[in-house]
Chains A and B, each alone.
Chain A
Amino acid sequence: MSRIKSPAELEAFRKEILAQRDPDKPCITLCSGSACNATGSGKVAAALELEIEKQGVTTEVVSRRTGCHGFCEQGPIVVIYPQGICYLKVQPEDIAEIISETIKKQKIVERLLYVDPNSGERATLEEDIPFYKYQKRLVLGSNRKIDPRSLEDYLAVEGYQAIAKVLFEMTPEQVVGEVKDAKLRGRGGAGFPSGLKWDFARNAPGDQKYVVVNCDEGDPGAYMDRSVMEGNPFAVLEGLMIGAYAIGANEGYIYVRQEYPLAVANLTVAIEKAEEYGLLGKNILGSGFDFTIKVHRGAGAFICGEETSLLNSLEGKAGEPNARPPFPAIRGLWSKPTNINNVETWANIPMIINKGAAFFSAIGTESSKGTKIFSLVGKVNNTGLVEVPMGASLRDIIFKIGGGVPGDKKFKAVQTGGPSGGCLPEDLLDTKVDFDELSQAGAMMGSGGMIVMDEDTCLVDIARYFLAFLSDESCGKCTPCREGIRQMLKILTNMTKGLAKEGDIDLLFELAEATKGSSMCALGKTAPNPVLSTLNHFREEYEAHINEKRCPSLSCKELIAFHIEPEKCKGCGACFRKCPAEAIEGGKKRIHVVVQEKCTKCGGCHEACPAAFDAVKILSGVPVPEATPEEARAIG
């Protein structure tokens, strides 16, 4: 195929592609996102190709390798269309059966289906799996339908329809107006209204302007941007191109985190294809609009995700923040007006143009529109990427989509917003996913991290963990951030070790106020959040650590002790065999005893002791009882 020179040619090409595709023909899709690749998608793909040949169904089925579906812990994932039959954890040896049974005989391979951990029920179709059922996958949805490296696939799902409309039917002002009317807010963290930001860059004086995609995604455990970039790079390219037209830029940069090789690879192929078809480069679709894109690989630091640091890093300078104002919209890349948005923000743009601002703004709450992708992890049955309409409650996400807390443990808190987000307790579970509501509750939307914690999680330790991350990742330029985090981290570490002093809570508040109030960039301004939100909602845990040297969650190693209750020990030796530290004195028919000096607090004995005996106790805040004397240890 040569360059597409007009919207009419584009539509003709699209028609041709769709005409060749029979929607009723069985299509086996295999997820080939980073996570599924790590669990063996490559081998499954090879088996699939081989088996299709071997069983002689080359003309009867189509196969396609797609992007991430979001349910990565269950990968590699195979979905068979048109029905949407969903097989999980598929291995190469399952493929023969999938073809001989499902493709040839329309029979389901039961053992590959999803089993609900709570009810034990199986689900055949993707849409029946609770993890998917309650989602609204407007952005991630295409991932499972298209091969991210295929322009034809993207065109088959309305791809490049939006840019054609924008270039030929809309003025740049109208495009900005549409994004404003959609009330889209940035998905990268701050939730700034995107249309307004575009307007600033558009109205900023200067001939040379730039658009930038922020795909630095440094939050530990978060990968929504990776999945969008890997799974649907054309959507990001199209969104970026629309933004460029709107603000008057002809050059774009995509800043991708160093650790995302597949995203870079798919993106590079997508850019090459788009160039080949004339959907990038000079005179796009014959409109006179020129646009080129360069991919830049990040330096691997969390702070490089902050926009001014990112732009410095793009210029080859130290990846450290600048003061704002001036904002990038006025003085950005190489001091030119620059509009920078997050991957997910850009990926929403083609949809807003195609479906209209009214469609988009009808979804969500008063102040937050559309959907948001979260990375749901931690103590929750179903982990993965979930896309929900704004306004969904945290409870629904954790319990309906996530399937609740595993085992018989109790929910304790949910942390949203990445490392500098906040922890919310059970009584705030009805909080809605909404930029303002989350902030008011003391958490934040951030870029979409969501970590569920159960009763065994110590929130003082959680605050310590996040501050340790931020202490490493702060650029270190300004005092309140660098020193404030250092001091808060020291106090929190002391608390988890039983070394806290009276007055430490007040000192934490004082340090938090200075760091929040006077830091240069948002890393410092939000760094106290983990401390403040846990102090506000779980203050009693702090007080127990300080006043009683007790960890209520029995998790801080230096505040707990393992103790075998002599009355309950049956001398079975399960703990003795499990202990890696040889810290248990045992013997046949003898009461077992933990030698405290040797114990490394691994918890092995506690797990090993049969539930019926329940002899191993975790103590905190109380002295460990004297060990039963040697001569009194015989049982029965």
Chain B
Amino acid sequence: MSEISLQIDGKEVAVSAGTTILEAARSLGIEIPTVCDHAQLSPYGACRICTVEADANGRTNLVASCQYPVEKDMVVRTKTEQVDKIRKVLLEQMLSHAPDSEQLVALGQIYGADRDRFEKEASFCILCGLCVRYCAEVKKKDAISFFDRGAKREIAFLPEIAMQECWDCKECFPLCPTSALQAAYVLTEALMTPTEPAAPSCGGGCSSSEGCG
């Protein structure tokens, strides 16, 4: 594979095509904060904490480093005033859902985030999708999924699958950045309250039980 050279925080690096900015930065020992990134899972780009500033093809953009592939002669800055400001707001937004998350609190300290800035939201989940993706990509069980969209988006277990698969697995619990509790709570709820199985969300908001395929 062809090598692509670029510059990150002033340091030159050459990596193979298709490498993400985050991976390239890590190879240089440069730390970029992440929340929804996971070594075993494909990049998802939900939390946006990993946003960095990148110059490429004569333009400067803010991009999610965990997803954005390196480009030739790219110049990346992982810490700028604007980037730090954005990370701070994003952390404050996530902390309004999960004020006790150790990971978020620790990151919040670095970026000066005020965890009480926004009114607390009833859900503890920050919708990072680690549990959903782990179950789908690694366990290939799809026992947990996203439902609804926009501000109403949430995760839920599909009771008929969860009933069979989850008792002996629970591998998604420790992945949850809000402390393992959120996924556990939703699972218990799913298994305790017998409900009509709902169709997985297509994000498209159709009510059709066949989804929108």
- Chain A residues within CB distance 8 Å of chain B: 258, 298-301, 303-304, 309, 313, 315-320, 323, 325, 470-480, 482-487, 489-490, 510-511, 513-514, 517-520
Contacts and interface: CB of A to CB of B under 8 A. Distances in A.
B159 interface: no
A520 B149 contact: no
Contacts of A298: 204, 212
Interface in B53-111: 62, 64, 67-69, 82, 85-86, 89-90, 93-94, 96
B205 A482 contact: no
Contacts of B151: 471-472, 474, 476, 482, 485-486, 489
A131 B47 CA distance: 48
Contacts of B29: none
- Residue with the greatest number of chain B CB neighbours at <10 A, chosen from A300, A320, A472, A478: A478
Nearest to A512: B89
B91 to A, nearest CB: 9
Interface string B14-55: 000000000000000000000000000001011111010000
Interface centre among B89, B153, B200, B205 (most CB of A within 10 A): B89
B48 A479 contact: yes
B62 A476 contact: no
Nearest to A302: B205
B173 to A, nearest CB: 22
Interface string B189-212: 000000000001111111000011
A471 B149 CA distance: 9
B152 interface: yes
B64 A479 contact: no
Nearest to B96: A483
B202 A299 contact: yes
B85 A510 contact: yes
Nearest to A486: B151
B150 interface: yes
Contacts of B43: 323
Interface of B is mostly: loop
Given A313-B212, A519-B48, A487 B93 contact: yes
B133 to A, nearest CB: 12
A323 B64 contact: yes
B149 A303 contact: yes
Interface residues of B, number: 42
B95 to A, nearest CB: 10
Residue among A299, A480, A483, A510 having the largest count of chain B Cβ atoms under 10 Å: A483
Contacts of A483: 90, 93-94, 96
A318 B201 contact: yes
Contacts of B49: 479
A490 B94 CA distance: 16
A304 B149 CA distance: 12
B204 A301 contact: yes
Contacts of A299: 202, 204-206, 212
B185 interface: no
B213 A477 contact: no
Contacts of A323: 43, 45, 64, 67-68
B127 A520 contact: no
A482 B152 CA distance: 9
A514 B47 contact: no
Contacts of B206: 258, 299-301
Contact of A482 (B51, B67, B129, B150): B150
Contact of A476 (B47, B149, B204, B211): B149
Contacts, number: 139
A370 to B, nearest CB: 26
A626 to B, nearest CB: 37
10 contacts: A300-B205, A303-B204, A472-B150, A474-B149, A478-B47, A483-B96, A513-B89, A514-B90, A517-B51, A520-B45
Given A323-B67, A518-B51, A520-B64, A480 B90 contact: yes
Given A476-B151, A484-B93, A518 B62 contact: yes
A478 B148 CA distance: 14
Contacts of A490: 119
B135 interface: no
A365 to B, nearest CB: 23
A311 to B, nearest CB: 13
Q: Which of B126, B129, B149 has the most CB of A within 10 A?
A: B149
A514 B43 CA distance: 21
Contacts of A476: 127, 146, 148-153, 203
Contacts of A482: 127, 150-151, 153
- 9 nearest CB pairs, A to B: A299-B204, A316-B213, A476-B153, A299-B212, A483-B93, A319-B204, A514-B89, A518-B48, A323-B67
B89 A520 contact: no
A72 B41 CA distance: 51
A313 B202 CA distance: 8
A298 B203 CA distance: 12
Contacts of B146: 318, 476
A474 B150 contact: yes
Given A301-B203, A486-B151, A518 B213 contact: no
Contacts of B46: 477-479
Given A472-B152, A517-B62, A518-B48, 10 more contacts: A301-B204, A303-B204, A325-B68, A471-B151, A475-B149, A476-B151, A477-B45, A477-B46, A478-B47, A480-B48
Contacts of A325: 68-69
A502 B204 CA distance: 38
Nearest to B48: A518
A313 B150 contact: no
Given A323-B67, A323-B68, A475 B90 contact: no
A301 B211 contact: no
Contacts of A471: 150-151
A319 B212 CA distance: 8
A477 B82 CA distance: 22
A258 B200 CA distance: 19
Contacts of B96: 483
Nearest to B154: A476
Given A319-B202, A323-B43, A510-B89, A517 B150 contact: no
